[in-house]
């Protein structure tokens, strides 16, 4: 009796993705800009997608949290034809009320929200480049929290942010 050889092909590994979103908050303009992120598959850099959501800073905590979660889930992997670009190419700058990148960075506080692992069950919220003090804040929260809890956390970080506001 002859035994046939069985060829075994291991399954392709599932692509592990750590999602992210960037949130810009301006007290001067009383608005929040939520920019969903894409990842370039070949060069592995991240960039803002073309469409950002702009909501009022006085929106309910639930609305803020829902907007952040919705845009967090828009994360995708997509090839970008024209490279990383300059700040003038940022979708959030185009959605803002500022004309220059320098003024945009002065008037908007930036928060980067990312999954801690590829399961994206926990979120890390980080303040980015808090000038002139340069103290950055970090917090973690469950991705399964109520939207109002996420909205509350981001606003608490914004209000406790140690920056010079004009």
CATH code of residue 126: 3.40.1590.10
For residue 149, give both structure tokens.
């809890």
125 domain-assigned: yes
Listed in sequence order, the residues at least 6 apart from 121 whose beta carbon sits closer than 8 Å to its beta carbon are 115, 142, 143, 144
The pTM of the full predicted model, rounded to 2 decimals, is 0.85
Q: How many CB atoms lie within 10 A of CB 79?
A: 10
Find out whether 141 and 149 touch, Cβ atoms under 8 Å: yes
* pLDDT tens-digit readout, 52-93: 999 999 999 999 999 999 999 999 988 876 755 688 888 999
Total structural domains within the chain: 1
* pLDDT tens-digit readout, 27-56: 999 999 999 999 988 877 888 999 999 999
For 84, the domain range is 20-160
* pLDDT tens-digit readout, 92-108: 999 998 989 999 988 99
- pLDDT value of position 153: 96
12 domain-assigned: no
Q: How many CA atoms lie within 13 A of 74 on its CB side?
A: 19
146 domain-assigned: yes
Residue 88 DSSP code: G
């Amino acid at each position: 009796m002859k035994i046939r050889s069985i060829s075994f092909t291991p399954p392709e590994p599932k692509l592990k993705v750590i999602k992210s979103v960037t949130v810009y908050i301006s007290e001067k303009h009383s608005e929040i800009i939520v920019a969903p992120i894409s990842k370039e598959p070949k060069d592995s850099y991240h960039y803002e997608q073309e469409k950002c959501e702009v909501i009022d800073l006085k929106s309910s905590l639930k609305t803020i949290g829902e907007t952040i979660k919705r845009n967090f889930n828009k994360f995708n992997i997509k090839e970008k034809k024209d490279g990383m670009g300059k700040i003038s190419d940022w979708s959030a700058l185009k959605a803002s009320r500022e004309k220059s990148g320098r003024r945009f960075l002065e008037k908007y506080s930036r928060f980067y929200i990312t999954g801690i692992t590829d399961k994206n069950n926990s979120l890390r919220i980080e303040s980015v480049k808090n000038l002139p003090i340069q103290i950055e804040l970090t917090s973690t929260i469950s991705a399964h929290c109520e939207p109002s809890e996420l909205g509350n956390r981001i606003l608490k970080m914004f209000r406790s942010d140690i920056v010079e506001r004009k």
